[in-house]
Structure 1
């Protein structure tokens, strides 16, 4: 039997902050939870309308995969929402006795804190749980083996930083910046091309792994078609992190060369770039405070920053970041007005 290979193309990993400490993702992901909660009703409606129970009756096990699960608790909430929706679909058709058992695969990068994830599994879970390490931009499962794919707040992460933006000899070299949103057109195009390639890889892999009649639901942060990259809330916050790093470079606290070769591998897509039928959700916090946004940003980006600069700079960097957020409160206030979350629902015919 031939070995299942994961190409080096997908070798870059960006795990969320693990553990259960004050800066961990597990304790700083309430914003993402809000969107998962907001998507529940739409997800249930999609399952009720699109899930083909007749096709699934031949299987005794309903297999669910959550891609980019991180460490919880949001992944457990999303899985429970899916289970409830599927069970209701069977019950609504008078098939109570034929509700299958559930197998849930939790997927994330190999460096994800799976120990924390499985230690915090709900004691009342109604499914068999397994971890699947690896990039979702490549194959993860056998052909036609998954009935339901789910992913929330993961597809904005690229498989890698575009090579051109860290190449001094490239016109897209992103010197002095850590993101595309406040950079040149060449840098923007490099990110756009990487995103398009990654989405193609993602959809091709899932097309092979999903069963006939299977479904996929994706919750993806985005921006309106007419909104410039530079005005997106998350992109503005990346710009602030970059300015903090450059301040530290000018003080000699970090190497300017390391800043020049560091880029955040995140892309905020528009509906036109989402190659699937979608519904848009708006979940706009009425009072999103700077310190709350800081803790969530640190939980998401601490590990990727630490890989480049070491852990010694983290406290000072994020203290500076918080100060800049507090000095410019309009950033969050205006950004939430244009925040968009895409709920994409796809079905295998």
Structure 2
């Protein structure tokens, strides 16, 4: 990261690459289950909503372009992409279109620091599509106008493009001293996160509206809670990371000022917030918005391994590589000592499946 979070809160940070013990590829089974849960919804959405008339025209270039935004390095992105292609072929077949003559182009997008080497070396050898990597933030434009037929993104939109600067402003009521997240913080902290998420979603939707073809589809899988202010398992677990860091600061192992200047760049929205932001954008029709089952019960060890796969680089950049193991060991202790994973009064996070259709220009 290099620079202080108060100037520009985040430089792009990647999931743990490779295929080692702490890698994302080895610690993303929870995300995989979510992707598998929405398979039927994606098939149904494509069969009912994909416009295929232009593919019947003799002059139409038989090309179907798909982008997975926030792809990380596999294997989940390959599962999602293949299922989208299978569903499009099913729709083509039902509409009398020869899918064998259609070329599928798939663009895998993530930050420039993503481990694209692992992504492409682990891609299926029998894939039925042309593949390309597109590095960059999906909060900005990534593709030419009207060039994509289908966008997909799962478990990515909760990551903010940047942190609100007031979180590290000692003069602000949203100064998040001694904490790294918002569940036990002042309401001003929650509001700062909420506003940043709203800005990010606005940018995301504006960019996709330009890049997708008229009538094109976008499938999103977003972790949500009924109310961002409620007592929730995942947000409370994130809060315990701050407690772990403060314990280490008390032992002189990390600098307390660094903890004060560190905040997690994640916001878990409510379904109502998502719907409102899409409606305010005005370029998309909500064709489907279905809550999935709440995320399953999970033990502290598995929880920490999954979170470490996504957060280790952030911890390393802010506090040093030599302290990483101690941070996550202390984090696990905090979760084990807490009742957060077993107390039924803590609300469960659940996935929200959203299918959007681009309005005609």
Query: Aligned equivalents of 2:191 and 2:295: distance in 1?
Result: 29
Matches within 5 A, 1:293-308: 293-308=303-318
Residues 1:111 and 2:122 are matched in the alignment: no
8 A Cα contact 1:233 1:335, kept in partner: no
Structural mapping, 1:242-257, within 5 Å: 242-257=242-257
Q: Report the equivalent of 2:178.
A: 176
Residue 265 of structure 2 is aligned to residue 265 of structure 1: yes
Alignment of 1:1-349 (within 5 A): 12-57=11-56, 58-96=60-98, 99-224=101-226, 227-274=227-274, 275-276=277-278, 277=286, 278-285=289-296, 287-332=297-342, 334=344, 338-349=348-359
Contact 1:218 1:344 in 2 (8 A): yes
Instruction: Decide whether aligned partners of structure 1 residues 98 and 213 sit closer, same or farther in structure 2, where only a CA change above 3 A counts.
Output: farther
Higher mean displacement: 204-213 or 332-341: 332-341
1:22-72 CA-partner distances (Å, limit 9, x unpaired) = 000000000000000001010110001010011344232111000000010
Task: Judge conservation of contact 2:153–2:221 (CA < 8 Å) in 1.
Answer: yes
Against the structure 1 CA distance between its residues 250 and 336, is the aligned structure 2 distance closer, same or farther, given a 3 Å change threshold?
closer
Name the CA shift for 1:338/1:99 in 2 (closer, same or farther; >3 Å): farther
Within 2, Cα distance between the matches of 1:30 and 1:39? 15
Q: For 2:340 and 2:110, locate their aligned partners in 1 and report how far apart those are by CA, in whole Å.
A: 34
Q: TM-score, normalized by length of structure 1?
A: 0.93
Provide the C-alpha distance between the structure 2 equivalents of 1:243 and 1:331, rounded to a whole number of angstroms: 16
Secondary structure at the counterpart of residue 247 of structure 2: helix
- Taking the aligned partners of 1:328 and 1:172, their CA distance within structure 2 comes to 26
Deviation at 1:233, TM superposition (A): 1.6
Q: Cα distance, 1:283 vs. partner? A: 4.8
CA distance in 2, matches of 1:332, 1:264: 24
Write the distance in 2 (CA, Å) between the matches of 1:244 and 1:144: 47
Looking at structure 1, the residues matched to 189 and 10 of structure 2 have their Cα atoms a distance apart, in angstroms, of 22
Where in structure 1 are there 5+ consecutive unaligned residues? 1-7
Contact 1:10 1:135 in 2 (8 A): no
CA contact (8 A) 1:166 1:173 kept: yes
Q: How many residues align?
A: 339
Q: Offset of 1:289 from its aligned partner?
A: 1.6
Partners of 2:298 and 2:341 within 8 A in 1: no
Check whether the contact 2:148–2:211 (CA below 8 A) recurs between aligned residues: yes
Structure 2: runs of 5+ lacking an equivalent:
1-6, 279-285
Residue pair 1:65, 1:107 contacting (<8 A) in 2 also: yes
Q: What is the Cα deviation at residue 300 of structure 1?
A: 1.0
CA contact (8 A) 2:50 2:216 kept: yes
Cα drift, residue 290 of structure 1: 1.5
SS in 2 for 1:282: strand
The answer (yes or no) to whether the contact 1:90–1:99 under 8 Å persists in 2 is no
- Give the Å deviation of 1:338: 2.7
Determine the C-alpha separation between the residues in 2 that align with 1:155 and 1:190: 17
Q: Distance in 2 between matches of 1:250 and 1:197?
A: 36
Higher mean C-alpha displacement, 55-64 vs 71-80 = 55-64
* Deviations 1:216-255, CA, capped at 9 Å, x for gaps: 000000001xx45351221011111110000000110000
